[in-house]
């Protein structure tokens, strides 16, 4: 059994694949040791991880995994110098792109396709790929960051409650709805413009992240939602190494 980690800016997620399907969970940095201790280490033969978290936190996960696992368990972090031969970052500097973004692109990959990956999380990342070649991307604040920024920088707005919105995103008649609808319309407009203007035209649009389900319903055309896209990318990355 392989244990996978996706260590992000705000969430530490793990996945175990059993014969009857995957199990996905999350860890809190404050209770990292107790959270890891509860995993079935006797059955885990390898630990594969991708991290954009603080280096100290990443190292702590690796050290604890080593202490809890069997002596034969292999613990490996993604190395951006070992990408599969069918995928290239081209002119993108591997030191200047999050490894989690790259794993999401690998997870969405189909040979010969041109596609867009949108990770709608704390930050929203949008990446374009054509025939295994990264064409570049965009990073913008996610909904939570937009709410937080407006709340902190604009005294009269105050704290914006998440989830207070109308599906129609009509003009807000109070501050809460005006802020929330503005943030959501801005995110929709950004994503839709990137999709519409993509060259070459896209075969697929793949969404992941906490706000993916909501966002998918507001984008034109057929979009796919993949909850565990980064983990699927880890599968692709390590399969290519073996």
Q: Could you list the active site residues?
A: 100
Write out the two tokens for 105: 């692109």
Tell me the C-alpha distance between 134 and 87, whole Å.
8
d(CA 96, CA 120): 19
| DSSP assignment letter at 202 | P
Distance set, CA 25 to CA 15, 17, 34, 56, 112 (Å):
6, 12, 14, 21, 33
For residue 205 the two structure tokens come to: 């649009």
- DSSP, collapsed to helix, strand or coil, labels residue 222 as coil
């Amino acid at each position: 059994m392989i244990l996978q980690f996706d260590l992000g800016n705000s969430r530490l997620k793990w996945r175990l694949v059993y014969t009857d399907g995957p199990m996905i969970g999350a860890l809190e940095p404050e209770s990292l040791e107790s959270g890891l201790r509860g995993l079935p280490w006797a059955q885990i033969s390898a630990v594969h991880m991708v991290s954009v978290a603080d280096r100290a936190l990443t190292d702590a996960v690796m050290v604890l995994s080593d202490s809890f696992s069997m002596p034969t368990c292999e613990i490996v972090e993604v190395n951006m110098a070992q990408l599969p031969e069918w995928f290239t970052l081209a002119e993108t500097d591997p030191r200047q792109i999050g490894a989690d973004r790259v794993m999401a692109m690998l997870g969405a990959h189909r040979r010969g396709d041109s596609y867009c990956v949108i990770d709608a999380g704390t930050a929203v990342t949008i990446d374009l790929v054509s025939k295994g070649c990264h064409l570049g991307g965009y990073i913008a604040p996610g909904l939570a960051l937009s709410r937080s920024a407006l709340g902190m920088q604009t005294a009269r707005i105050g704290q914006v409650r998440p989830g207070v919105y109308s599906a129609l995103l009509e003009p807000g008649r109070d501050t809460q709805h005006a802020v929330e609808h503005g943030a959501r319309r801005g995110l929709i407009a950004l994503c839709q413009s990137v999709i519409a203007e993509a060259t070459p035209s896209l075969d697929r649009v793949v969404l992941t992240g906490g706000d993916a389900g909501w966002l998918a319903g507001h984008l034109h055309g057929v979009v796919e939602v993949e909850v565990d896209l980064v983990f699927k990318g880890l599968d692709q990355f390590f399969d290519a190494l073996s």
